[in-house]
Amino acid sequence: MTEPGMTRRDFFKTSAWASTLLAAPLWTHQLDESMPTDYLPAAFAGVSMDWSTPADLANTEPALVALHRAAYGPRPGDLERVRAMGVNAFIEEQLAPETIDDSTVEQMLEVFPSLRMSIPELVKYYEAPFMTKMPPMATNNAGGGAGGFSGMFDSDPQAMLKNTPALDPEASRSQSVLELVQAVILRQVYSERQLFEIMVDFWSDHFNIYALKGTCRILKVWDDREVIRKHAMGKFRDLLFASAKSPAMLVYLDNIDNVKGIPQENYARELLELHTLGVESGFTQKDVAETARAFTGWSMLTPRKAAKNVDYTDAGEFQFRKKQHDMGPKTVLGLNLKAGRGMEDGQEILERIAAHPKTAEHIAFKLARRFVADTPPPALVARAAETFKQTDGDIRAILKTILFSDEIKFSFGQKIKRPQEFIASSLRATQAAPTGAELRKVPLREYKPIGSRKRGQDEPIARTLRTLGHVPFLWASPNGYPDVASAWINSNNLLTRWNFAFALATNRILEFDVQLEAFAHLDAPEELVVEWGKRALNRTLLEPDRAKLIEYVRGDTSETRIQNLVALLIASPHFQYR
């Protein structure tokens, strides 16, 4: 517990976050409030650590920087491996994920049937059983509405589940989302294709889809596999085209409701503003309106209903509905589209913006921000944009420009780990093993904040991510989860990180098992601090930090002092940097 009079201002004096990560912290208006005392680990009471600043860590060795930027942090032994093979060789290896054996994590994912299902199977086994009874809809030519397939069935849910033993009849309609979320966590922690998983995460935010909107809860599972993961390291043009036809994107940004005479502008606006050119690229509202007209009729097939049976064969398949397309002339970004055309209107716009210089700049800026700094060096952005233009948007080539740059070599501490990254790197650093436990089968909206349960109970990962505001695929706005420190560094977020670190070190994370007993033979405080400084932070601690940690361990006479030390290191500012 914290001392009764301890305020947030006192608490943050222990971390140097305010002075080193943000010029103007967003939480300054909260600093005088009392710190909550119901869940802060008692082991941390009275801890005063004035950690060294990122400036003191600027010369972090390149191998460690690479493991923080091209991977979700090092596991024990990874740093030695990268040192031995060389940083450039490690990056080249990660740039070719198809050559890396990832069978271990793929075996873990076999327990999630949704990941391998087609859309018709997803609809049949994950969506249809939970439909409420609704009047039959007309035919397969219906628009489908913003909810996609919702309301398409009037069959008995129990009867439809009769031959699907893999699913629990009482399971939530969000079960497919829960499986996808668990898969994301397992891949980030255990996949050998670490850079690939980082790029999947990047593009999932860039082409964001809120998974709990209508039938996106099942369509996003397919989108993750066939759009994002399929094209994450390929050509940007191919990824853009795949996203435009994705049933999940069609539902999420309402393009299935985009018909002639009543154009729906949601997809057109985000296509120009977020997916390609960027908000300050100079496009106008007229460009948005004309783009929306060009994409009228881009839709998908819904299940066919006949008598009491439902035919799922073509469910979710992209379909261009010519009768719903506006065939009038259009002008977008100076591109004149003649009257009387069809689907080629949208295709030509996609071709135009995929190769546009502003798109190259926009993507280069976001990638440089993701890998180097919240405010990336302009010269690096310019070189990455030039690579985009010279290679027709080859994602691997752009990554090489960034990952082999001089700017990234001394950038340690210029990025902080977003919550997902913090959790994945914590699990990797402690060599956590999966327990096989599944997330609770309840809608993700119902996860209560961490700390709402009694002390000593296991905490599911999704609960922690929910409290931290970073559950995969649950960002409702089209812009995706933020990628800058100011969005994540606040009092509640930091407190939850402390709580997670303590729960992990004391082996109270539901889905993972951490064993620290092997280090019980290290009795001397000096030995413990040196060993765990290397294991958790992968560096020799700077003398001021080492001395204070030794003092802390020496004063902890409990049987759990190793757990307390590990938790303190994982909760430290140094572990938040990447």
| Backbone phi, psi, residue 89, to 5° | -65, -40
| Backbone phi, psi, residue 533, to 5° | -65, -40
In a domain, 489, yes or no: yes
- In this structure, the answer to whether residues 61 and 113 fall within a common structural domain is no
How does pLDDT run across 221-242, given as a tens digit for each residue? 999 999 999 999 999 999 999 9
Amino acid at 128: A
Who contacts 23 (Cβ-Cβ below 8 Å, separation ≥6)?
none
Nearest CA-CA partner of 537 in 501, 513, 503:
501
In a domain, 167, yes or no: yes
Percentage, residues of the chain above pLDDT 90: 54
Percentage, residues of the chain above pLDDT 70: 77
- Domain C-terminal end among 409, 433, 453: 409
- In this structure, the answer to whether residues 552 and 446 fall within a common structural domain is yes
For CA atoms 160, 161, 162, 166, give the dihedral sign.
positive
- In this structure, the answer to whether residues 243 and 134 fall within a common structural domain is yes
User: What residues make up the domain containing 220?
Assistant: 105-257+301-320
How does pLDDT run across 384-424, given as a tens digit for each residue? 999 999 999 999 999 999 999 999 988 888 899 999 999 99
Min mean pLDDT across 4-13, 281-290, 495-504 is at 4-13
Structure tokens that stand for 162 in this block = 């009769």
Q: Is the pLDDT of residue 570 over 90?
A: yes
Q: Is the pLDDT of residue 112 over 60?
A: yes
Q: Is the pLDDT of residue 193 over 60?
A: yes
Q: Is the pLDDT of residue 165 over 60?
A: no
Q: So what's the pLDDT on residue 441?
A: 44
How does pLDDT run across 337-372, given as a tens digit for each residue? 999 999 999 999 999 999 999 999 999 999 999 999
- In this structure, the answer to whether residues 128 and 86 fall within a common structural domain is no
485 neighbors 469 (Cβ within 8 angstroms): no
- 123-132, 346-355, 483-492: which has the highest mean pLDDT? 346-355
Q: How many domains does the chain have?
A: 3
Tokens 């405010």 belong to which residue?
375
In a domain, 497, yes or no: yes
In a domain, 325, yes or no: no
- In this structure, the answer to whether residues 474 and 528 fall within a common structural domain is yes
Structure tokens that stand for 550 in this block = 């030794």
Q: Is the pLDDT of residue 2 over 80?
A: no
119 neighbors 316 (Cβ within 8 angstroms): yes
Q: So what's the pLDDT on residue 154?
A: 31
In a domain, 267, yes or no: no
- In this structure, the answer to whether residues 445 and 505 fall within a common structural domain is yes
- In this structure, the answer to whether residues 92 and 115 fall within a common structural domain is no
Min mean pLDDT across 164-173, 179-188, 506-515, 522-531 is at 164-173
Q: So what's the pLDDT on residue 211?
A: 94
Min mean pLDDT across 117-121, 347-351, 463-467 is at 463-467
Of 363 and 516, the structure prediction assigns the larger pLDDT to 363
Give pTM, 2 decimals. Answer: 0.85
- In this structure, the answer to whether residues 192 and 52 fall within a common structural domain is no
Q: So what's the pLDDT on residue 22?
A: 27
Structure tokens that stand for 332 in this block = 């977008």
Q: Is the pLDDT of residue 313 over 50?
A: yes
DSSP code for 77: T
Specify the long-range contacts of residues 449-458, CB closer than 8 Å, at least 24 apart. Answer: 450/39, 450/496, 450/499, 450/500, 451/36, 451/38, 451/39, 451/499, 455/39, 456/508, 457/508, 458/508, 458/509, 458/510
Q: How many CB atoms lie within 10 A of CB 521?
A: 7
Q: So what's the pLDDT on residue 175?
A: 83
471 neighbors 420 (Cβ within 8 angstroms): no
401 neighbors 383 (Cβ within 8 angstroms): yes
Q: So what's the pLDDT on residue 266?
A: 97
- In this structure, the answer to whether residues 247 and 378 fall within a common structural domain is no
| Backbone phi, psi, residue 481, to 5° | -60, 140
Min mean pLDDT across 188-192, 280-284, 445-449, 573-577 is at 445-449
- In this structure, the answer to whether residues 437 and 548 fall within a common structural domain is yes
Q: Is the pLDDT of residue 129 over 70?
A: no
- In this structure, the answer to whether residues 121 and 236 fall within a common structural domain is yes
310 neighbors 295 (Cβ within 8 angstroms): no
In a domain, 158, yes or no: yes
Q: What is the rounded average pLDDT for all residues in the chain?
A: 81
In a domain, 369, yes or no: yes
DSSP code for 115: G
Amino acid at 313: T
In a domain, 172, yes or no: yes
- In this structure, the answer to whether residues 72 and 119 fall within a common structural domain is no
